[in-house]
């Protein structure tokens, strides 16, 4: 709890700081927030009360276990990298830069609560805290029509999915009388044939499927990714998706494990279609952020492989893959943010000649694309390997898993085309309109090096991170 | 006639379906937004009636959370729609076409 309270307080302080800081000092508010979050992250490893490994609060609604701690550190790192990006982006935001920082911090607090949610009330409140904050973050550049339009689209579809979520919660609670996940798990088996209960669970999955942008609830993702300010897009791709996954894991494997066991085929189909849809639609894209939007749908599909495997190895592979995805996506969006800072569009052509303008940025973007495509020795390769392995392990029980693994491999092969299209645009495009070198500030270089180090560390020395992920996933083994 | 749980639930299902139809069929953003609120309130009705007939107050507590969150959502949502209206002079979904493939 201490961690959440500290993050909330930081958000309020940032908002108040807006009144007293002179306009040219606003940048320091962002760096101060980064420093504060880095301090909290450091404390969470020190284990001084912030992130103890057990305990509950609010009458069992809020639970602190291995999984919660894993995701809390994940969200803190994501928010730190996004804040670095937001500081660089601040000159494109017309007014209220401190508000932008504080909204990022508030969204972070929602994600921290989501990591610990063990009750449908907590699930609903934390998911809404994240989503409503993101409505504002998405439409923050209110002078740009695309930003507003993305915000409205996200608003309508987000509100639609939360009404499904609420209705599902109402049905599940009405039939079982339980809101707490552990209590629900104890009685869920006797409601397995109750249609209303099953519809309720399905509606809850609709609400969560929207958050992770799984097929068929993915239509918002490309538009919102394209229109939103770049730091928001990065946070949406990493934080919001991971929050959806932690809640999905808790609901499927803590609250209704007996129902989940029957729904393996549903999960296989959703995962397979999500992978194919994301990869095929990404092929013709020329807008960088839109391309990454479709690629994030595909990655939601890869992550769902770990859910569909219904095993501890699948869950730990999912967590490991998310960690690699965090550094990779943050690297890609940081580069996009810096390159298109003074441009009005985010077309692929903006990357032309990047290797001459800034070798570090070109190298980072190349590494990020290689990692997203899943080529050794970077993080994405080992994550995909683990996910496929966990799926194939289940193949003996259900041949559908072999089809799923094949689909995933086909998706990976398709994705090579568009990821290498990005790399080609950097190094081999002919007409570079702008060849002026891009100057990088010190802090953003630090952020880029953190991302690169993360990608290599997870790819070359996977054992440490994999142990952490397995430890976190062992929550479901009980 | 005595109204039982199933009557309340039927009304709740009907409200939810009407809201969903409204979201799908109507073209004005404000009307769509009202339909979304209708869907949320259908869920609230289901929660309250379950709560009343199962003698369990947890559902009513959840309703308070939902109403509070919905209020926050409406304030953000209306502000967004107003901001969009100022730029486009229109609140119709057909005009949300800046971003295409």
Q: B100 in a domain, yes or no?
A: no
Q: Measured between CB atoms, does B81 come within 8 Å of chain A?
A: yes
First to last CA, chain B: 57
Gap between the Cα atoms of A157 and B9, Å rounded:
25
Distance of residue B40 Cα from the nearest chain A Cα, in angstroms: 5
- Sign, Cα dihedral of A209, A214, A217, A221: positive
Tell me whether residue B43 is in a domain: yes
What are the angstrom distances between the C-alpha of A247 and each of A119, A209, B52? 10, 10, 29
Q: Is residue B49 part of a domain?
A: yes
Residue B101 covered by a domain: no
B36 in any annotated domain: yes
CA angle centred on A54, ends A52 and A58, rounded to 5°: 100
Residue B88 inside a domain? The answer is yes
A202 touches B: beta carbon within 8 Å = no
Q: Which residues is A347 bridged to in the sheet?
A: A287
Q: Could you state, in order of their start, the residue ranges of all structural domains in chain A?
A: 267-478
**Token pair listed for B51:** 């709560």
pLDDT at A477: 78
Query: Looking at the 3D structure of chain B, how many domains does it have?
Result: 1
Region of A99 (left: φ > 0; alpha: ψ -120 to 50; beta: rest) is alpha
Per the domain annotation, does B27 fall within a domain?
Answer: yes
Chain A residue numbers with beta carbons less than 8 Å from the beta carbon of B40 are 159, 162-163, 166
CA–CA min distance A126, chain B (Å):
10
How far apart CA A261 and CA A244 sit, in angstroms, is 20
**H or E element that contains A63:** strand A62-63
Q: Tell me how far apart the alpha carbons of residues A458 and A378 are, in angstroms, rounded to a whole number.
A: 7
* pLDDT at A400 (0 to 100): 87
Answer whether A361's CB lies under 8 Å from A335's CB: yes
Q: Which domain holds residue B78?
A: 5-95
Is residue A121 within 8 A of residue B65, CB to CB? The reply is yes
- The interface pTM score, or ipTM, of the predicted complex is 0.95
- Whole-prediction pTM value? 0.94
Q: Is A374 near chain B, with CB under 8 Å?
A: no
- From A349's Cα to the closest Cα of chain B, the distance in A is 16
Spans of chain A below 50 pLDDT: 50
- Neighboring chain A residues of B69 at a CB cutoff of 8 Å: 124-125, 128, 132
Run means of pLDDT, 10 residues per run, chain B, 101 residues: 86 95 92 94 94 89 93 94 88 76 51
Chain A residue numbers with beta carbons less than 8 Å from the beta carbon of B66 are: 124, 166
Span A329-387, pLDDT tens digits: 999 999 999 988 777 777 888 888 888 888 899 999 999 999 999 888 888 899 999 99
Report the CATH number at residue B21.
1.10.287.3510
Closest alpha carbon within chain B to A175 = B50
The reported pLDDT for the residue numbered A47 is: 61
Question: In sequence order, what are the beta bridge partners of B92?
Answer: B28
């Amino acid at each position: 709890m201490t961690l959440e309270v500290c993050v909330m307080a930081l958000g309020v302080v940032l908002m108040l700081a807006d009144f007293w800081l002179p306009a040219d000092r606003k940048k320091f508010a962002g760096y101060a927030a980064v420093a504060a979050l880095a301090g909290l992250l450091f404390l969470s490893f020190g284990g001084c009360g912030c992130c103890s490994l057990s305990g509950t609060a609010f009458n069992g609604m809020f639970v602190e276990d291995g999984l919660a701690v894993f995701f809390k550190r994940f969200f803190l790192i994501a928010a730190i990298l996004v804040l670095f990006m937001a500081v660089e982006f601040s000159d494109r935001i017309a007014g209220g830069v401190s508000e932008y920082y504080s909204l990022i911090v508030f969204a972070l607090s929602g994600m921290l609560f989501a990591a610990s949610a063990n009750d449908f009330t907590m699930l609903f409140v934390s998911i809404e805290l994240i989503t409503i904050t993101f409505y504002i973050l998405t439409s923050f550049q209110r002078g740009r029509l695309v930003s507003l339009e993305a915000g409205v689209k996200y608003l309508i579809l987000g509100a639609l999915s939360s009404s499904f979520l609420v209705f599902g919660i109402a049905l599940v609670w009405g039939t079982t009388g339980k809101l707490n996940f552990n209590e629900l798990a104890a009685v869920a088996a006797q409601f397995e044939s109750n249609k209303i209960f099953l519809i309720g669970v399905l509606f809850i999955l609709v609400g969560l499927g929207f958050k992770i942008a799984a097929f068929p609830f993915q239509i918002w993702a490309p538009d919102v990714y394209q229109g939103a300010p770049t730091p928001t897009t990065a946070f949406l791709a990493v934080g919001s998706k991971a929050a959806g996954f932690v809640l999905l894991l808790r609901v499927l494997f803590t609250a209704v494990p007996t129902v989940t066991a029957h729904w393996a085929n549903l999960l296989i189909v959703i995962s397979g279609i999500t992978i194919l849809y994301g990869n095929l639609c990404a092929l013709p894209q020329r807008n960088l952020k839109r391309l990454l939007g479709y690629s994030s749908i595909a990655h939601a599909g890869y992550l769902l492989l770990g859910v569909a495997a219904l095993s501890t190895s699948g869950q730990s592979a999912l967590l490991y893959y998310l960690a690699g995805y965090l550094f990779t996506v943050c690297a890609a969006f940081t580069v996009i943010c810096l390159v298109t800072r003074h441009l009005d569009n985010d077309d692929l052509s903006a990357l032309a000649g990047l290797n001459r303008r800034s070798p570090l940025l070109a190298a980072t973007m190349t590494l990020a694309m290689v990692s997203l495509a899943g080529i050794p020795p970077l993080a994405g390769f080992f994550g995909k390997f683990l996910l496929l392995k966990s799926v194939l392990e289940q193949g003996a029980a259900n041949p559908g898993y072999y089809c799923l693994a094949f689909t995933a491999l086909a998706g990976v092969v398709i994705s090579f085309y568009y990821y290498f299209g990005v790399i080609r645009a950097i190094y081999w495009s002919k007409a570079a309109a702008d060849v002026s070198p891009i100057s990088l500030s010190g802090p953003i270089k630090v952020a880029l090096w953190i991302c690169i180090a993360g990608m290599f560390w997870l790819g070359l020395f996977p054992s440490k991170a994999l142990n952490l992920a397995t430890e976190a996933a062992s929550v479901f083994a009980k | 006639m005595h109204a039982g749980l199933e009557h309340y639930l039927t009304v709740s299902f009907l409200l939810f379906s009407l809201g969903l139809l409204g979201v799908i069929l109507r073209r004005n953003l404000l009307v769509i937004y009202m339909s979304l609120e209708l869907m949320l309130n259908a869920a609230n009705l289901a929660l309250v009636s379950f709560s009343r007939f199962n003698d369990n107050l947890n559902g009513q507590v959840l309703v308070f959370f939902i109403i509070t969150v919905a209020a926050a959502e409406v304030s953000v949502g209306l502000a967004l729609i107003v901001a969009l209206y100022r730029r486009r002079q229109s609140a119709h979904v057909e005009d949300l076409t800046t971003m295409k493939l």
